Amino acid sequence: MAVTETRTYRCLDCREHTIEREYDVSHLSITCEGCGEFARFVHAGVYRQYMDFEESPPDDVAWERLTRMQKFTIAEGIVRSDKTLDDFDISGDAADGHETDEADETDEADETDREDA
């Protein structure tokens, strides 16, 4: 076996520098030779899925509200395992965000209004 297959990983910090590695993992963290940051490099396939979602966000997901890392975690799960979007609790109230409380209050207010009317 003389030929070794390599995988491409892309720096998430500058998103331009790529590295080749012989092993296949979802991501790795090393110092980027391009931007000099200790950055997370994601598998090229994961990055491609991420970009697909950026261009056309999945219907059931509040994609814009997710953090970049959440997005990559999802892309990673879909590309690297058999997970689907349903496996991620990302419908809106899942995130550890502070916006959840506000959303709940709004919902309650709406219900009260409806009862009064």
Counting contacts by CB under 5 A, is residue 46 touching Zn ion?
no
Terminal Cα-to-Cα distance of the chain (whole angstroms): 75
Tokens describing residue 43: 């598998």
Overall residue count recorded for the chain in this entry: 117
What phi and psi, each to the nearest 5 degrees, are found at residue 29? Answer: -120, 115
Counting contacts by CB under 5 A, is residue 42 touching Zn ion?
no
- Collapsed DSSP state (helix, strand, coil) of residue 102: helix
Closest separation between CB of residue 16 and Zn ion, Å? 7
> According to CB under 5 A, which one of 9, 11, 66, 75 is a site residue for Zn ion?
11
Closest separation between CB of residue 10 and Zn ion, Å? 9
Which residues here bind Zn ion, judged by CB under 5 A?
11, 13-14, 17, 32, 34-35
